[in-house]
Structures are given as structure tokens and as C-alpha cells.
A = this chain, B = another copy of it.
Amino acid sequence: MLTRHQTAQLLVSFDRVLILCHRNPDGDTLGSGFALCRAFLNQGKKARVFCNDPIPEKFAYMVPEQQEDFVPLHIISVDVADPALLGPQTEQLIAPFSPVALSIDHHPTHKQFAQELYLEADSASCCEIVRELLREMGWEIDTGIANCLYTGLSTDTGCFKFSNTSPRTHRIAAEMIEMGADHTRINKVMFDTVTFNELELEQLALEKLWMSDDQKIAVLTITTDMLRKTGVSEAQLDRITALTRKISGVEVGITIKQRGEQNYKVSVRTAETMSASRICEQFGGGGHARAAGCQFDLRDPVIIREKLVEAVYKTAEEERCAAQ
């Protein structure tokens, strides 16, 4: 793995740079990608960003006015933990050229696929790493770059709310605001906007909220019928998935989302005490300590709920024994 100084030197030597984001792009991969892209453009170099999937409208302000097409000389990936997350279109695009030259990432689970890697696994966001690299390179940050970097800082920490937020996250946010980041508008769009349809879906789902007798497990079920009725897409389900865990006293929040007649995707969110990934691993899924997922090829969501609730109590029991 490279040091920060070596990475900075490498970046300074690059030109005609293609920057790759992960599929289903979020604020951090796009913020890192477009910040670097704008920094290269400011140096008179050629650079562009590519993502397998369309860039959601709410991130459109990050995209530079002109993105020129060119044959890439150096390829960088940002915030991509695994080559599988590049997506088939990206793989097709880069196949004729040299492999990915440099990967910049903050995921502890990073699977190395690029020639060189710069990883800061304890960084809350990839944008923090990009900011430190630009500092090392001595490249200036303009308002456009500040908007990109602020977006990654804010979205990957739930607006500075999650446990990953560090003193450095706050200090870089301070800098970005000084450099002109439109923090109020960015946060309004990212955290304070809900569509009427999403509220309707929340309504429908909450009508059938299931709570365990001890009020520690909450389960929401979202059927394809509910999605059809309200016109909400699967990409809009983040808010509702986060809702169950927010209920006072709830330690495990589960959302069961129907995808087909016999297919359900499950999201598990846990409070401080229990491992979400240990619950999901019992059904072939996985993830992080506080957020994990799994799938079921079953017809009846009630049976899925019963299996999950049983797994929660089993995991709780195992963790209790292990703690003794």
C-alpha cells in the first residue's frame, strides 16, 4: 500500500485521467470522483468521471460543465471496495485500456484490484482522504470542489450524526464551508426532503408495523403492491429502512421488501447491542455490525418474519453467553 505522500506524487504525475465510481452511486463516491476530476481540470489536465449507473438528479451540481471525451492514460477508482462494484458497463469501458492504476478507498473490507492502493480504513468518508491528498499535492480547492467534498463528508456520516464522524471530519467540513460549499442547500436536499409518495408508503407500511411483545423488535413489510400503489421506487426506500430502528426502545429494526412473487430482500438495523450481520449470516446474507441484509425465496412474508425474529433471539442468547 502506498503512503499519502507517494499517492500524491503519483496523482501529480497522472494525465488523461478516467475516474471510476461504484455502481448505485452515493454522495461519497461521486463527491470524491468529481472533486478529483475538477482538481485535474484546474491543472489543465484532461479528466472525466464514469459510473455504471445514472447519476441521481440530486447530485447533478457536482458534474463539471464540460466533460470531454478522450482516450484515458491513467484510471483511478474512488470509494470502490470491490471490483464487482464497478458494474458491467464500467468493466466493458476500461477493458481495452490498462488496468486501474490507483484505488483510493476507506472501506476496511477493500479487496485490492488496482495496481496501487491508498486506503485509510478509519476515515469516515473517501472525500476526507481526497481532501488530505489535495493538501499534500498543494492543489487549490475552489467552490466546486468544496461542494463535492462537503457532500461526501455529510452523506457518509448522516450529517455528522454517526459514530464514524471524527474530529477530522468536522475540521474538513469547516474548511469546505469557508471555501464556499453551499452546505445549507446540500443538507436540505440530502436529509430534509421526502416526497409525498414516500410519505404515503410510510403510511401504508406503518399500518402493518409488527412489534414484538417486549417492543424490542420492529418489523415493517413493504409489498410490491404498496410500491405500485404509491409509485415509490426501490432506490427511495432508505428513509423507511432507517425508520424502524429509530423507534424508542427498539433494538432491532427489520424491513422486509418484496421484489418478486417469491422473493424478499431483508434489511436489518440494530442498536448498540446486537450484531446485524450475525443475524443475516444465518440466512446466507451479511454486512456490518449495525446494518446488514439477506434474501428469502419464499412466498409468505409472515414466515420470513418469524424466521428472522427467531434468529434475533438466538443471536441475543449467543451474545449473552459469549459475554459471560
Contacts and interface: CB of A to CB of B under 8 A. Distances in A.
A192 B202 CA distance: 17
Interface in A176-200: 177-178, 183-184, 187-188, 191-196, 199
A199 B203 contact: no
B196 A206 contact: no
A248 B195 contact: yes
A206 B211 contact: no
A161 B203 contact: no
A194 B253 CA distance: 13
Given A162-B184, A163-B184, A206-B203, A248 B193 contact: yes
B160 A160 contact: yes
Interface string A69-104: 000000000000000000000000000000000000
A177 B166 contact: yes
B247 A199 contact: yes
A246 B194 contact: yes
Nearest to A170: B174
A208 B171 CA distance: 44
Contacts of A246: 192-194
A84 to B, nearest CB: 31
Contacts of A159: 159-161
Contacts of A183: 163, 165
A117 to B, nearest CB: 28
Interface residues of A, number: 41
A184 B194 CA distance: 24
**How many copies make up the complex?**
2
A167 B175 contact: yes
Contacts of A178: 167
Contacts of A163: 183-184
Contacts of A243: 194
A178 B187 CA distance: 25
Contacts of A174: 167-171, 174
A39 B7 CA distance: 45
A187 B161 contact: yes
A291 to B, nearest CB: 13
A43 interface: no
Given A170-B171, A171-B171, A203-B207, A247 B177 contact: no
Contacts of A188: 161
A273 interface: no
B184 A248 contact: no
A173 interface: yes
A215 interface: yes
Contacts of A211: 196
Contacts of A196: 211, 215, 247-249
A196 to B, nearest CB: 6
A168 B173 CA distance: 10
Nearest to A209: B199
Report the 7 A-B pairs with minimum CB-CB distance, sorted nearest first.
Answer: A167-B174, A170-B174, A163-B184, A170-B170, A195-B248, A161-B187, A160-B160
7 contacts: A159-B159, A161-B187, A167-B174, A170-B171, A174-B174, A194-B243, A199-B247
